[in-house]
Amino acid sequence: MTTSILHLDTNYISFLDSIKIKFKKAQIRAALSINKELIILYWTIGSELITKQQQFKWGSQFIEQFSHDLQHAFPEMQGFSASNLKRMRRFAQEYPNPTIGSQLVTQLPWGHILVLMFKVKNLQQREWYAKKVIENGWSRSILEMQIETDLYSRQGITPTKTTNFDKNLPIEQSQRAIEILKDPYNFDFLTIGNKVNERDIENALIQHVRDFLLELGQGFATLKNDELIEV
């Protein structure tokens, strides 16, 4: 059985293209949303670790015990290792409130944040490198290379205070979303593991895309594994 292809006018083509763009934007926003939730979770855990240790005078073995118990509760996640919990604690120490002001860390993958924390001591320089990651979609290895070659000093540019990248980034700027999905800590957060294929990532992302499609209004639909999902 063959399916006929309708040759519709330019208005239809324009409409189709607009929906494809909206869907692509929704995918990017979903990836950024997933990442932000993870970063805020890590910051919250780090902040509470500091508070509880000070409040109850828990000793050095507390982190190891807490790590063991969390990994028992969430066996599919590697992000609750003792070493990563200590990184969360340091994250909370160095960023008293990562969602206020010009701090851009909630828009970066966790691996990028660790590079900035351990390789860049100056907060102004960190902010500048974070801005460049967002603008250019740098991978973690590219960020490390730019820091090691001291791009900040070579450019001689003063960091700006602008933070509305999520509103101004063009749709083509999808590399950051790709980097976020490749980050192993986000794989943990989505509980899909490191050894995944594109279908696994798509299925995890679709769960978040559906909510964004609701913004388009009733009557729109998407396909998941050849199953029609109407919104």
Specify if 207 maps to a domain: no
Instruction: Indicate whether 144 belongs to any domain.
Output: yes
Asked if residue 9 is part of any domain, the answer here is no
pTM: 0.72
User: Does an H or E element contain 227, and which?
Assistant: strand 227-230
SS3 content of the chain, % helix, strand, coil (to 5): 65, 5, 30
Q: What is the pLDDT of residue 226?
A: 45
Question: What's the number of domains the chain is made of?
Answer: 1
What share of the chain in percent tops pLDDT 90? 45
Indicate whether 138 belongs to any domain.
yes
Query: Residue 34, Cβ neighbours under 10 Å: how many?
Result: 21
Q: How much is the pLDDT for 224?
A: 47
* 21 vs 99, higher pLDDT: 21
Query: Does residue 209 form part of some domain?
Result: no
- pLDDT: which is higher, 21 or 177: 21
Binned at pLDDT 50, 70 and 90, residue 164 comes out as low
Q: What DSSP designation does 107 have?
A: G
Residue 85 structural domain: 23-160+172-194
Q: Band of the pLDDT at 80, cuts 50, 70, 90?
A: very high
| Average pLDDT value over all residues in the chain | 80
- Region of 150 on the Ramachandran plot (φ > 0 left; ψ -120 to 50 alpha; else beta): left
Give the integer Cα–Cα distance in Å for 116 and 114: 5
Answer yes or no: is 8 within a domain.
Answer: no
> Which residue would you say has higher pLDDT here, 133 or 163?
133
Q: How many CB atoms lie within 10 A of CB 218?
A: 8
Residue that wins the pLDDT comparison between 81 and 209? 81
Does the residue 212 lie in any domain? no
pLDDT at residue number 220: 47
Residue 146: inside a domain = yes
Q: How confident is the model at residue 79 (pLDDT cuts 50, 70, 90)?
A: very high
Confidence of residue 196 (pLDDT cuts 50, 70, 90): low
